[in-house]
Amino acid sequence: MDNRPIGVMDSGLGGLSVIRIMREQLPHESIVFVGDQGHFPYGVRTQEDVCHLALNIGKYLLTHDIKMMVIACNTATAASLPTLQKELPIPVIGVIKPGATAALEQPKHDRIGVTATEGTIKAGAYPKTIHELNPDVTVIAKAAQPMVSIVEHNEVGTPKAQQVVNEQLGIFKDKHVDVLILGCTHFPFLSKEISNLLPDVTLVDPALETVKTARQMLTDTDQLHDHETTHTMKLYSTGDFKELQVGAEKWLPGDRFTCEHVNIPGD
Q: Where in the sequence numbering do the catalytic residues fall? A: 73, 184
**With respect to ligand DGL, which residue has the nearer C-beta, 58 or 225?**
58
The dihedral region occupied by 21, where left means phi > 0, alpha psi between -120 and 50, and beta the remainder, is alpha
Q: Which residues pair with 138 in a beta bridge?
A: 111
73 lies in the site for ligand DGL, by CB under 6 A: yes
User: Going by C-beta distance under 8 Å and a sequence separation of 6 or more, which residues neighbour residue 222?
Assistant: 1, 2
| The one segment of 21-29, 38-46, 54-62, 208-216 that binds ligand DGL by CB under 6 A | 38-46
Tell me whether residue 5 or residue 119 sits nearer to ligand DGL (CB atom).
119
**144 close to 118: Cβ distance less than 8 angstroms:** no
- Sign of the Cα torsion 36, 53, 27, 182 reads positive
Residue 185 beta carbon to ligand DGL: minimum distance, rounded to whole angstroms: 4
Site for ligand DGL (CB under 6 A): which residue of 129, 185, 237, 238?
A: 185
Number of residues near ligand DGL (by CB under 6 A): 17
In angstroms, what CA-CA distances link 248 with 97, 178, 254?
Answer: 26, 32, 10
Q: For helices 74-87 and 96-104, what crossing angle results, to 10°?
A: 120
3-state class (DSSP) for residue 233: strand
The answer to the question of residue 74 lying near ligand DGL (CB under 6 A) is yes
- 9 φ, ψ (degrees, to nearest 5): -135, 155
Residue nearest to ligand DGL (CB): 43
Among 80, 101, 117, 168, indicate the residue that binds ligand DGL (CB under 6 A): 117
Q: Could you give the angle at the alpha carbon of 193 between the alpha carbons of 24 and 165, nearest 5°? A: 120
Near ligand DGL by CB under 6 A: residue from 6, 16, 148, 181 = 148
Among 9, 19, 22, 42, binds ligand DGL (CB under 6 A): 42
Q: How many CA atoms lie within 13 A of 123 on its CB side?
A: 28
Specify the stretch interacting with ligand DGL by CB under 6 A; choose among 121-129, 159-167, 179-187, 237-245: 179-187
Q: CA angle, 250 as apex, 246 and 251 as ends, to 5°?
A: 115
Contact pick of 30, 75, 210, 237 for ligand DGL (by CB under 6 A): 75
**Residue of the chain from 33, 40, 60, 126 that contacts ligand DGL (CB under 6 A):** 40
The reply to whether 206 sits near ligand DGL by the rule CB under 6 A is no
CB of 227 vs ligand DGL, minimal distance in Å: 31
Residue 15: which H helix or E strand, with range?
helix 15-25
In this chain, which of 5, 38, 43, 188 binds ligand DGL, going by CB under 6 A?
Answer: 43
3-state helix, strand, coil in the chain (%, to 5): 50, 15, 35
Q: Which residues, numbered 221-250, are part of the site for ligand DGL (CB under 6 A)?
A: none
Site of interaction with ligand DGL (CB under 6 A) = 10-12, 14, 40-43, 73-75, 117, 120, 148, 184-186
